[in-house]
Amino acid sequence: MPFQNIIVEKNPPMAAVTINRPDKLNALNTATFLELEKAFEDIREDPAIRGVLVKGAGDKAFVAGADISEIRNLGLRKGIEFSRLGQRVFHLIETLNKPVIALINGFALGGGCEFTMACHLRLATPQSKFGQPEVNLGLIPGYGGTQRLPRLVGRGRALELLLTGDMIDAQRAYEIGLLNRIVEAEQLEETGKKLLNKILAKGPLAVKNVLEVVHRGLNGTLEEGVALESDYFGMTCATDDMKEGTGAFLEKRKPEFKGK
C-alpha cells in the first residue's frame, strides 16, 4: 500500500508504523490521519501481525502536534470534523486488540502527545519533550487529550499541563506516569522490539482480553469493570491456551500457545 505521509513495514508478527513528515516535525494533517486509518485497519485485519511499534521519522520529533497550518483555516463545523477524524483514528489504535508501543524520540506535543496516549505503552529517549501546548494557540486538545491525560496521570497533573501549555522532559513524564520507560536513543528500537516480543510470547487470547477489559473497564464504574473482568476471566478459562499455560506450569515446561 503506497503512502505519502507514513511508512508501514511488516515483519510478522510485528509491524512498524512511522509518521514520515520530518520537515514538519511529523505534524498530523488530514492526509496523514487518513493514511494512518487505512494502515491500522489493514493491521487489525492481518492475522500475521500481532503487535505494532509506532515512531516518528528523523531525530527531532515523534509528532509535534496537529498541523497548525491546517487548523488555521478551520471554523466551527470543520473544527468538529477535524477533531472527530483524529479521535476516530486514535480510538482505532487504542482498541486494536493488538499491543501498540510508541517509541518516542523528540517532541511529542499536542496531537503527538495524544497519539502516544492512544498507544498502549510508551518508551522515550531522555531528550524527548511532552506537552499539550494548545492553549498557547488559543485552542484546546481535540484528539482525546482532555480525557486520556487525566486518566493516565491524574486530574491535577493533567490540568497543570493542559492549562499552562508547558513542556515537560522525559524524566518528569516518567515520574507522572505518562511514560513506561526512558531508553537511550541507540537502544530505543531494540528495547521496543524486545518488549513487544515479550508480550507476544504470552497467551495471545489473554493479551487481547487484557487490552479489551482494561479499555472497556476504564469507560465505566469500578463495579461494571470488575463484572466485566469476571466475564473475560471466564472466557479465558475456556481457552486451550489457559489449559496449555497452566499445564506447562505444573509440568515445569515452557508453554506453547496456539491462540485458541
Residues that bind ligand COA (CB under 6 A): 24-25, 27, 64-69, 107, 109-110, 133-134, 137, 139
User: Which residue in 37, 134, 186, 224 is the catalytic one?
Assistant: 134
Q: Provide the minimum distance between the beta carbon of 130 and ligand COA in the complex, in angstroms, as a whole number.
A: 11
CB 89 within 8 A of CB 83: no
> CB-wise, 52 or 64, nearer to ligand COA?
64
Catalytic-residue membership of 134: yes
User: Which residue in 9, 45, 81, 114 is the catalytic one?
Assistant: 114
Q: Provide the minimum distance between the beta carbon of 61 and ligand COA in the complex, in angstroms, as a whole number.
A: 7
Q: Provide the minimum distance between the beta carbon of 8 and ligand COA in the complex, in angstroms, as a whole number.
A: 22
205: left (phi over 0), alpha (psi -120 to 50) or beta: alpha
- Cα-trace Rg, the chain: 19
> CB-wise, 66 or 102, nearer to ligand COA?
66
Cell of 192: 521496543
> CB-wise, 50 or 129, nearer to ligand COA?
129
Q: Provide the minimum distance between the beta carbon of 151 and ligand COA in the complex, in angstroms, as a whole number.
A: 20
Q: Which residues contact 162 (CB under 8 A, 6 or more apart)?
A: 132, 134, 135, 140, 141, 145, 146, 149
86: β partners: none
> CB-wise, 81 or 240, nearer to ligand COA?
81
Instruction: Map grid coordinates 491546517 to a residue.
Output: 70
How many angstroms separate the CA atoms of 4 and 223, rounded? Answer: 46
Residues involved in catalysis: 114, 134
